[in-house]
Amino acid sequence: MQLTKYLSKTGYDLVDSPVRNHKPLQIWLKQGFNRPELYYDSIDHAFVSDVQLEIKEDAALSVDGSKKQTHAFNIGITILDEVLKSIGLASLEMSAKIKQGRKVSISYKNAVTKSVTLGAVTEYFNKADFLHVNPILLNNANQNNLLLITGVVFAQQLVIDIDTSLTVDNKWMASIKKELKGRIDISTDKQEKLKMVTSAKDYFPVAVKASRLDFDKGQFKGLLQVTDNRNFF
């Protein structure tokens, strides 16, 4: 199954951004046609409530190697370079190393999902106040410019499958392994198929679930989910 299709069914969007600092309970600012920008790193930096929100692991959402994003070669390599850049591997520039092929598939390993329940978030805001007097925050709330991240899929490794149009020989493999310097493990099971797996490191955001905070004249009205293929993130 395509990864985006699977995530969409559960209310998540793949992160499509050179910045990956998404965490549950962050507040992002979305104004007009602008991309969202991080506004408050934690909900508790802007609001106070008697309700304590708990971030839990969601075992029901399974993101693994069986769910991939598959693209035609040039599109896939372009996307791959952007993803590598966003997780701190910009110097790898796969488009300069593999210049011909048929398709590229991207998936993730060692993924976990952290989320909060929407019911708890609703209860939180029904009893919430601003942490401080804040006319700018009030204006953005009343204009429904605030997005709350309620869930994030994190992964530890990026998995790349490349169907090339060139024969992969031992000399080429040795050369590219030297260039990758251990940051990506590379192997082949067929002469024109490559598998690359980034070395295990810190978890990075893969997908986001978010809702718009609906306020009217300072009163909280509810949550409006925005991660429905609008690709805000």
34-72: pLDDT as tens digits = 889 999 999 999 999 999 999 999 887 888 878 899 999
Fold of the domain built from segment(s) 67-110+157-201: Hypothetical Protein Ta0175; Chain: A, domain 2 (3.90.1070)
Residue matched to tokens 């199954």: 1
- Strand intervals (E) in the chain: 13-14, 27-29, 37-40, 47-49, 56-57, 69-72, 101-109, 112-115, 128-130, 146-155, 157-164, 184-190, 193-198, 204-216, 219-225
Claim: this prediction has a pTM higher than 0.75: yes
pLDDT at 131: 96
Query: What tokens appear for 197 in the block?
Result: 């797996």
Return the domain boundaries, the chain.
1-63+111-156+203-233, 67-110+157-201
Q: Of 136, 152, 119, 151, nearest to 46 (Cα)? A: 136
Q: How far is CA 162 from CA 4, 128, 174, in A?
A: 19, 50, 17
Pairing status of strand 101-109 against strand 157-164: antiparallel
pLDDT at 1: 65
Segments in the chain below pLDDT 50: none
pLDDT at 229: 66
pLDDT at 215: 96
Residue matched to tokens 């209310």: 11
Q: Of 122, 150, 147, 152, nearest to 61 (Cα)? A: 152
Q: How far is CA 28 from CA 10, 21, 88, 143, in A?
A: 21, 11, 22, 13
d(CA 42, CA 170): 50
pLDDT at 164: 84
